[in-house]
Structure 1
Amino acid sequence: MSYRLNFPRVAACLGALLTAGLPGQPVLAGPPASYPVADIAAALRENAHAVVRRADETLVVKSAGRTVETVRRAVTIFDEAGADYARKLVYYDQLNTISYLRGTAYAADGHVLRTLKASEIKDISLSDGFSLANDGRGRVADLRQPVYPYTVEFEYEISSTNTLFYSTWKPQPDEQLAVEHATFRVLMPAGLALRYQERALPAGGAAVKTPTAEAGQTYEWQVHNLAAVEAEPDGPPVGETTPAVYTAPTQFEVQGHLGTLTSWQTLGLWNYQLNTGRDELPPAVQTKVQALVQGETDERARIRKVYEWLQANTRYISVQLGIGGWQTFPASSVAANGYGDCKALTNYCQALLKTAGVTAFPALVRANEEDIRTEFPSQQFNHVVLCVPLSKAAKADTVWLECTSQTNPFGYMSSFTGNRHALLVTPQGGRLVRTPQYLAADNRRERLADVYMDAQGSATASIRTRLSGLEQDAYAGLAGSQNLADQKKAVAEHLPLASFSISKLSYQHNQQQPVPVLTENLGLTLPGWASVSGKRAFLTPNLLSRWGALPATVGERRTPIWLDNAFSYADTVRIHVPAGFKPESLPAQVQLTTAFGTYSSQVQALPDGTLLYVRRLLMPRTRFAREEYPAYQEFRRRISQADKAQVVLVKTDA
């Protein structure tokens, strides 16, 4: 992804980038005690790997083109699971500069263990490995200690000339993190208004506004004594439900490019004006495109030919330098070099389609993350795709193109950018639209298995699984691998079987349909698949699709139920019973119809002695209030019970 993000985007890379060892022996002399662990209330210690003792964050908006952010944060760490809070990565580039980075570690009693030296702060490149040019760098500090508990305090300041982004305040971004005290301030100058959105703030946490002597405005938010929380089954991520304040400018500037951000329309207009006039193609490329679509009257077919030509003749390379995070390379540059980032390849494809007589528009999207907050216009995007309205279709329709992929099927957005909102960039400005929705009818898994059991309970299985839509996404890369050993290893890690070996594995991919289809052919050897005891054999006919029950709840459910992945599963298992055995007991048929989904399973004894197990599960893309959780829990419990039901075979005397 090459669309320029705000600097916090790189924080997740910290674990892979830090290699420093643990610090040396404690130093007992120092300033008076600070942050003694004994002062932490018992309620904040409960279920917490760490406690934020103090967090002060201040954003000073100097002008439409400059901000200064200062952060001071002290965290007490109780165990190794919280040790990442003792490490700090501060991002910078040519638009963001670090004024200082300081740090101190304290013992449990509050005495200083060590103070971070300037020589101990590493300066590293944050190159992502696929960018041609990337000015992202980081200052890295590591204050991990060998004995728990201890406290670390970091202070830093960042000056920015990229005011498209203002701060997002999330005082409790992670699970099992408690907060003793946190404050967020924004200081606005005269003539500039702050836009903000509050979420899940406790009572008394709303903004306090205070006029400043310079006719500006100060905004302040505080939270206190937030107990640690955990992510709940089938619930949203903790960072989506804990207190947060999102801020955004009304006016901004990036390297001399002024903009207004009061609506999605104005944000889209800035992007359009920034990139307009950069779609000119060399005459030779125009000639190739015109020849490519000559005689093709079907609009969708013309688009497909251009897109597949793009895939065959370009490759994705990210470029992130200053304004280049938002402004595209000219189409002529991609034509000459054969590569570009998401903006450049999208712009190039748009230019190719224009030559073919087709109008298309870039669309900004947040890829591979939660959908944007549609009610709060702001820069929330990290990727660009191409939207192609079909002007000649019998009914309104749209083709969506992922221009960075050389393998993506035509018109398929996948889980990367599907099922979310995007900002369509037009000459009139921005407009929110929906990317393709992939629902249960699209995301299917259909499995047919033949299991051949012997009298000792061992078996072999031949399994054909057809996956479509989002269900095939995780397998698409695996299917393209030429290494059979790697394929077998990846599949084996996800098989819910106690003992097995893979005797056969192959894939076929059909990418010509509206949603791609992948077929997996799998052969298994299953020693001891059935449990044989005396004259009886016990087996579970549900071979590969067993669901577990949800864990028991402790106290009241905190968050709503998010069932965001719609799918339809169909399993058919034919069990070939060994000679001399017949069914003594078959599970009862189960049929569940609820708002959460539908489920059915049954086992039949066929005239030829074969057992036929059929299971169906359909889950829609829905969300439910937390009060519905007991009913959802019961639905899952009954599925789990049915999936574990056993068949009893008995050996006949004959």
Structure 2
Amino acid sequence: MKNILTPLLFCIFSTSLFSQDYSFEISKIPINLLNNANSVVLFEDTFVNVKSQNQMTIEVNTAVTVLNKLGDYNSHVYVHFDKNQKIKSIETYIYNASGKEINKVKSKEYEDVSAVDGGTLYGDSRMLYYKYTPISYPYTIQKKYVIETINTGFVPSWQPVDSYSTSVLSSSYQIKSSEGLAIRFKEKNFENYTIEKEVATNNLKYKVVNVEAIKREPYCPIFKDFTPYLLVGLNKFSLEGIDGEANNWAEFGKWRYDYLLNGNDEINDSAKSEVLNLVDGILDPIEKAKIIYKYVQDRTRYISVQEGIGGWMPIKANDVHRLGYGDCKGLSNYTKALLNAVGVEAYYTIIWAGDENRDVEEDFFSMQGNHIILNLPTNDGDIWLECTNQKVPFGYLGDFTDDRNVLVIKPDGGIIKRTKIYEASENLQKSIGSYEVRGNGSIQAEVKIISKGTQYFDNLKSDGASDKELDVLFKDYFSHINNIKFSELQVINNKKEMAFEEEIAFEASNYAILNGNEMLVPINAFNRNFVIPKRVRERKLSFQISQGYLDVDEVDIKLPVSFDIEYVPENKTIESKFGKYIVEVSKVDEHTYLYKRTIQINEGEYPKEEYELYRNFRKEISKYDNSKIILKSKS
């Protein structure tokens, strides 16, 4: 999606309620703002002036004191621009610990660089970029700039606390608009902060001071879910010269369809004839959709397009068909066009994609999202299609796009839906195998691993990997076994079953520990748990298990006949609100045992007071996963 100047824009209030003088002296920073901090925001001020439906000015003045190397990301200055967003002025100053100016960045020191990644074929978004290289700590960097843009569809939001280990001395935000351009806004997570504000139809002012740094903790929840965040928008707006007006998602979705989608999903007669032949005789719409999905995967590839309105409007379906490539917008629109051509209902869908489950705001419409997928409504529920990945099965999302609110665009308007939720039992990894321990302590083993749900995607990197790459990947997976040598490494991406299958055979010397006439055999050879959450003294935040899963193992164990069996780990069951762990060891014959293991971890957010309980739960699992069979030599 298009890179735009939305996050963390702060302004100069020369005459506003929040005006004040600032000091750059480190000694003036309150002691409490230095605790757990790598950097301190001395001030971060934003002024947004919406002069008309298609003219907006953004003024920014911000200064950050960097206390150590971990805060150096603040030394990067970047301001976006393109043909419709102009930088009117930009200034950068560096101050030493005493508050003395030691450098003013010259115009020629800013680099004019592309603001899109190397995988973008078309992109006109650029930025002025400067990186300061510190000679000592602490130092302060001040950034001031003014931007003019015609795109009022994107109004800067306010996120005064934007990262861990950063405290805030002062942050303020003001937006004013012309008569007839009412300002909409939504406050999130304000309740635990003292925030001054003034609210009027055409003027908003916010300010917060003295916010202490938040220390990152293991399993912390999503940062935006517990820190203050202000969303701002207009009912009358403009995007790349296209005016719009809306009061809700339905009207906003209708505008997007009419002006950004409609007409782009047409395909020529030749393409239509080709796909109709593919589904000839097939009546089931889902079977038709599967054929079309495979057709698109086989003949297209992903490449980004972020030029002008193309940052939000898909390239025409006919162009994707002719060229054989497109971005998420183009490929989704193309797939939709082909599905519609064969009589399958499908809708363009806007989503926030990423490892963190971020929702499209259900009660606040605006230009949201960073990715496009497709929605196929059926009598049995919604099917979701990821159109940019040639490897994933039909209807598979994974943890990049699962369990979050999305905007589905229909001809008559937009509606909010929620993508598939993968329950822990669906995120299954099943391992069935056997191993034999020889008298010298070596091991010979084979195992088949089947992964589904989000665990399917975790293993997808193996698909198409070379033998050398597979060797590296599986040595990492079996890192608890030294001297491992693989005799078989086979991976199968079983799209039909939405399963990733791995068949592995290996041997390794010194798997078992020989101690005099004793042999110690680690019972869990294939799927040992190493996850023990770090200790946190006086935890401040709740904790979150972001994805539940289920592992099921069934292993035949053959022990050397030259040893007597002294001890076999007992059956074990551990149950808690966080999940369950079950181990059963049963005797098959004198030197053969069947080892069954189940571990389920439950997704959820839990109070900070229960963190130590979770830590102990994982410690106990890890301890038992490392249990050993004890053998004694007969000779």
TM-score (normalised: structure 2): 0.91
For the residues of structure 1 that align with 2:69 and 2:477, how far apart are their CA atoms?
28
| Structure 1 CA distance for aligned equivalents of residues 480 and 363 of structure 2 | 46
Query: What's the CA shift string for 1:151-192, capped at 9, x where partnerless?
Result: 211112222221221112222222112222222222233222
**1:266 aligns to what SS in structure 2?**
helix
Provide the identity percentage.
Answer: 27
Query: How many Å separate the matches in 1 of 2:510 and 2:274?
Result: 62
Kept in 2, the 8 Å contact 1:8–1:91? The answer is: no
Distance 1:351 1:549, change over 3 A: closer
Corresponding residue number in structure 2 for 1:65: 54
Give CA deviations for 1:559-604 in whole Å, capped at 9, x if unaligned: 3x32231211012333322232233233332212222212112334
Does structure 2 conserve the Cα–Cα contact (< 8 Å) formed by 1:443 and 1:566?
Answer: yes
Q: Residue type of the partner of 1:354?
A: N
CA contact (8 A) 1:59 1:68 kept: yes
Match of residue 7 from structure 1 = 5
Contact 2:560 2:591 in 1 (8 A): no
Q: Which amino acid aligns with 1:179?
A: V
> How far apart are the structure 2 equivalents of 1:33 and 1:375?
37
SS in 2 for 1:191: coil
Distance verdict in 2 for CA 1:478–1:106, change over 3 Å: same
Q: How does 1:258-337 map to 2 (within 5 A)?
A: 258-274=243-259, 275-337=261-323
Structure 1 segment 331-370 matched on structure 2, within 5 A? 331-368=317-354, 369-370=356-357
* Counterpart in the other structure of 1:435: 419
Correspondence for 2:480 among 478, 482, 497: 497
Residue of structure 2 in register with 1:155 after alignment: 144
Contact 2:304 2:327 in 1 (8 A): yes
> Do the aligned partners of 1:135 and 1:321 also contact (CA within 8 Å) in 2?
yes
Residue 551 of structure 1 corresponds to: 534
How far apart are 1:384 and its partner, in Å? 1.6
Alignment match, 1:413: 397
Match status 1:255 vs 2:243:
no
Cα distance in structure 2, aligned partners of 1:353 and 1:87 = 45
User: Against the structure 1 CA distance between its residues 593 and 289, is the aligned structure 2 distance closer, same or farther, given a 3 Å change threshold?
Assistant: same
Retained in 2: the 8 A contact 1:557–1:629? Answer: no
Aligned to 1:111: 100
Matched with 1:470 is 454
2:70 to 66, 81, 84: 81
CA distance in 2, matches of 1:33, 1:389: 56
Distance across 1 between alignment mates of 2:157 and 2:521: 54
8 Å Cα contact 2:493/2:501 also seen in 1: yes
- CA distance in structure 1 between the partners assigned to 2:204 and 2:585 by the alignment: 65
Distance 2:351 2:22 in 1: 48
- Distance between the aligned counterparts of 2:631 and 2:221, measured in 1? 44
> Which has the higher mean CA deviation after the structures are superposed, 370-379 or 176-185?
370-379
1:376 maps to: 364
> CA 1:280/1:551 → structure 2, altered by over 3 Å: closer, same or farther?
closer
Contact 2:403 2:421 in 1 (8 A): yes
Measure, in 1, the Cα distance between the counterparts of 2:61 and 2:583: 57
Aligned residue type for 2:620: R
- Root-mean-square deviation (CA, aligned residues, Å) is 2.5
Contact 1:181–1:224 at 8 Å: present in 2 too? Answer: yes
Instruction: Provide the C-alpha distance between the structure 2 equivalents of 1:517 and 1:230, rounded to a whole number of angstroms.
Output: 39
- Structure 1 counterpart of 2:172: 183
Flag the 1:164–1:592 CA change in 2: closer, same or farther, 3 A: same
| Counterpart Cα distance in 2 of 1:502 and 1:88 | 49
**Does the CA contact (< 8 Å) of 1:174 and 1:239 recur in 2?**
no
Cα distance between partner residues in 1 of 2:523 and 2:122: 55
Cα distance change on mapping 1:186 and 1:357 into 2, 3 Å: same
Amino acid of the structure 1 residue aligned with 2:357 = E
Could you tell me which residue of structure 1 aligns to residue 85 of structure 2? 96
Alignment match, 2:115:
126
Secondary structure, counterpart of 1:7 in structure 2: coil
2:399 alignment partner, SS class: helix
Structure 2 counterpart of 1:542, from 524, 537, 544: 524
Task: State the Cα distance separating 1:414 from its structure 2 match.
Answer: 2.6
Q: 1:441-452 residue pairs with structure 2 within 5 A?
A: 441-452=425-436
Contact 2:7–2:158 (Cα < 8 Å) also in 1: no
1:217 aligns to what?
Answer: 202
Distance between the aligned counterparts of 2:212 and 2:630, measured in 1? 50
**Contact 1:207/1:219 (<8 A) preserved:** no
Structure 1: where are the runs of 5+ without partners?
12-31
Distance 1:630 1:579 in 2: 44
Q: Give 3-state SS (helix, strand or coil) of 1:441's partner.
A: helix
For the 8 Å contact 1:230–1:238, the answer to whether it is kept is no
CA contact (8 A) 2:217 2:536 kept: no
Question: In 1, are the aligned partners of 2:8 and 2:160 still within 8 Å (CA)?
Answer: no
Instruction: Report if the CA contact (8 A) 2:320-2:334 is conserved.
Output: yes
Question: Alpha carbons of 1:151 and 1:256: their partners in 2 closer, same or farther (altered >3 Å)?
Answer: closer
1:486 aligned residue (462, 469, 477): 469
Is 2:620 the counterpart of 1:638? yes
AA matched with 1:429: G
Q: What is the one-letter code of the residue matched to 1:584?
A: E
Contact 1:363-1:425 within 8 A present in 2 as well: yes
Q: Does 1:423 align with 2:407?
A: yes
Which residue identity is paired with 1:546?
N
Which segments of 5 or more consecutive residues in structure 2 lack a partner in the other structure? Answer: 10-20
* Alpha-carbon offset, residue 308 of structure 1: 1.9
Q: Distance in 1 between matches of 2:556 and 2:188?
A: 52
* Count of residue pairs brought into register by the alignment: 619
Q: Conserved in 2, the CA contact under 8 Å of 1:44 and 1:226?
A: yes
Give the drift of 1:469: 2.1
**Is the 8 Å Cα contact of residues 386 and 401 (structure 1) preserved in structure 2?**
yes
Instruction: Give the match for residue 616 of structure 1.
Output: 598
- Give the TM-score normalised by structure 1: 0.88
Instruction: Report the CA distance shift for 1:269/1:626 in structure 2 as closer, same or farther (over 3 A).
Output: farther
Output the amino acid matched with 2:302.
Y
Hey, what's the Cα distance between the residues in 1 that align with 2:63 and 2:478?
A: 44
